[in-house]
Structure 1
Amino acid sequence: MNTSRRQFLGRLGLVTAGLGFASSGSLTAGSRAKFSFDISLAEFSFASELFSGKMSNMDFPARAKNEYGITILEYVSGFFNNKHKDPAYLKELKQRCDDLGMRNHLIMVDGENLTALNDTARLKAVEAHYPWVDAAKFLGCTAIRVNLGDAMAMLSGKKEEGTPAELATAAVDGYGKLLEYAGKAGLNVIVENHFGVSTDPDWLVGVMKQLKAPNKGLLPDFGNFCAERSKPETMDIKGFMATKCVKEHDKYEGVKKMMPYARGISAKTHQFDARGNDPETDFIKMFKIIKDSGWNNGIVGIEYEGGLMREMGGDMAKPTNDEGIRKTKALLERVLQELG
């Protein structure tokens, strides 16, 4: 692969790391009968501004608090610009958070393939995640979020190598090794339904059942159950965002299956109707499923992606980043009023 293509795929990978077309909460019932959760903000909600340079990773804590009154943060690895091993950089970021009274919840890490079938490549991927565990620990996070699957294969229009069973075996090994390292640091490593085989909730649950580590877990994402997309007409970000989902797992059944292992929720949104509801996900229906599972007093992250689709995909019908974050927050607050 030539350098320019590799750079493009890397950037596209960061875009789709959160793109949903495509706190750690208690794993058991909460101690209080009242259904409740805290609201965090996922950095990917500002993706278009971060990609364009209008905003930096250092700006994230202040914007979350000052503009939206949110004090719990979910970072994205790509927006650290490879400075996650720089002590001075991490110290400055942590100081900014401390000064603002922020709570660093997790880092969404989109790294090398933990399910690589090749033993050497898989171990290399595991070790490449170690510095992210260290950075998360320093920042006071409770977890890092990882992927189980080959994102680059999907972005290149290829199928993942291996059968679901072979990939599950590789995942238990690679993810298991990372859990062991993170456990020593007192951190959780949670998996999001995201690419390829990991969009299948039954596959994810099957992997979880094979691991005994107490710091394992899942991060159900409302928008990432698409198992197959149409082929992009152009190999660029705009082309990918124009693709359609042609095969999708049922999101409500998917979240229900994932909830016994959930250590957080990713409330993904792209657009809203005139009443402020998400036309893609019935939030009341979804949160009734979450409530009925016994999950309580955890963290639900706002991950608004319509702004990226607007600014980089040309879909001007989508709200801006600011509008989308505010509407998602209002929707979650309404959920708490109705179900709490």
Structure 2
Amino acid sequence: MTINRRRFLANSTRLAALGLAAPFMGFVGRSHSAGSESFFKISLAQWSLHRQLRSGTLKVLDFPVKTRKVFGIGAVEYVNQFFKDQAKDLKFLTAMRARAEDHNVRSLLIMVDGEGDLGDPDKGKRKQAIENHYKWIEAAKHLDCHSVRVNAAGQGSREEVAKASVEGLRALSEFAQDFNINVIVENHGGYSSNGEWLSQVLHRVDMPNCGSLPDFGNFGDYDRYLGVQQLMPFAQGISAKSFEFDSAGSEINTDFARMLRIIRDAGYRGYVGIEFEGPGDEDHGIMATKRLLEHLGRKMEVST
């Protein structure tokens, strides 16, 4: 999957108008097959079922099975905290990969949290955080994922954390290159929830296997539509955050149609991951998000 050159240049012009440096042309994940109904495919983030996983109602190894059988979705995004002590357990990882492959489910990425701040201004702490992520790079390779999702976080001034994040992300991406794994950053609190800040960090890293995972939420007071637009030139995945729906089936916090137009116009042709975080039944929330994405995807494909 590559960004159309004309659209990429248009994005670069828009970013320049916003005072951002032109972004690099990075690898953006795996392409979807021609002739599909929409310009994107749908995946499911494991976090969408976090209550079921934490309660034990759903076992980790059964996540890809349920994804296929209950939701009819063919790709998954794992979250490391649900198997945080098994990153090096090859028997467990082999079983996880087999479950996915046996049900024709593609493993896309692992969302990694709790391993230290890659943007810590303290060089020693940052080095430890980088090394803590190594095992997840290796686990992602074993699972046949294309990426790990990490956080650009740290304590300090805006520029101090930016400088440290650039160094931390570059070092981890250099390690990940040998495994053909991408390091992608989500807008996930702190400075990273500012689309301008994060896009500048990724531009400064300037590595083809280091990109973004724009999330529809997690922007705080920052304009979420502007933030996604700023991160799209680096996007190697998309997280469609959902909470609640109105009687017509629209998500009440985010204009999904507007978001998908931004994504489509950026030339993105990969997976859009469902990440339901709302109250109530998780299965219902996932299906509501899926129906909305499918409806809008078909509608936009017809209108282009």
Specify if TM > 0.5: yes
Distance 1:285 1:274 in 2: 19
1:166-315 equivalences under 5 Å are 166-226=160-220, 248-295=221-268, 297-306=269-278, 310=279
Matching residue's letter, 2:158: P
In structure 2, what is the equivalent of residue 119 of structure 1?
123
> Are positions 1:131 and 2:98 aligned together?
no
Is 1:324 matched up with 2:282?
A: no
**Do residues 145 (structure 1) and 121 (structure 2) align?**
no
Deviation, structure 1 residue 56: 2.0
Amino acid at match of 1:259: M
Checking the alignment, whether the CA contact within 8 Å between 2:44 and 2:75 is kept in structure 1 is: yes
In structure 1, C-alpha distance between the alignment counterparts of 2:99 and 2:45, rounded to whole Å: 17
Equivalent-residue separation in structure 2 for 1:81 and 1:291 (angstroms):
35
Per-residue deviation, residues 236-269 of structure 1 (Å, max 9, x unmatched)? xxxxxxxxxxxx1000111111111111110000
Q: Unmatched 5+ residue regions in structure 2?
A: 8-30
**Which residue of 45, 49, 64 maps to 2:48?**
45
State the partner residue of 2:68.
65
TM norm structure 2: 0.86
Q: Give SS of 1:210's match.
A: helix
Which digits, 9 at most, give the CA deviation of each residue in 1:108-148, with x for residues without a partner? Answer: 01121111111111000000000000000010000000001
User: How far apart in 2 are the matches of 1:136 and 1:26?
Assistant: 22
- Percentage of matched positions with identical amino acids: 42
Which position in structure 2 is the counterpart of 1:234?
none
Alpha carbons 1:302, 1:325 under 8 Å: kept: yes
2:188 is paired with a residue whose SS is: coil
Alignment check: 8 A CA contact 2:212 2:231 kept: yes
C-alpha distance in 1 between matches for 2:227 and 2:208: 22
Residues 165-224 of structure 1 show CA distances to partners (whole Å, capped at 9, x for unaligned) of: 010110011111000000111011100000111101111011111122110110100111
Q: Whole-Å Cα distance in 2 between the matches of residues 294 and 142 of structure 1?
A: 19
Q: What secondary structure does 2:180 align onto?
A: coil
Match of 2:12 in 1: none
The 2-side partners of 1:202 and 1:282 are apart by: 21
Task: Give the counterpart letter for 1:271 in structure 2.
Answer: E
Query: Aligned AA for 2:193?
Result: T
For the aligned residue pairs, the C-alpha RMSD in angstroms reads: 1.7
Where 1:68 maps in the other structure, the secondary structure is coil
The answer as to whether partners of 1:26 and 1:298 remain within 8 angstroms in 2 is no
- Is residue 80 of structure 2 the alignment partner of residue 77 of structure 1? yes
**Structure 1: 5+ residue runs without aligned partners?**
1-24, 151-160, 227-247, 311-318
Distance 1:270 1:86 in 2: 34
Distance (whole Å) between structure 1 residues aligned to residue 77 and residue 263 of structure 2 = 20
Amino acid at match of 1:299: Y
Match of 1:56 among 55, 59, 68: 59
Instruction: Report if the CA contact (8 A) 1:27-1:263 is conserved.
Output: no
> Aligned residue for 1:158?
none
- Cα distance in structure 2, aligned partners of 1:35 and 1:172: 35
Q: Distance in 2 between matches of 1:260 and 1:96?
A: 33
Please state how far the C-alpha of 1:35 moved relative to its aligned partner: 5.9
The alignment's TM-score, normalised by the length of structure 1, stands at 0.77
Q: How many residues align?
A: 273
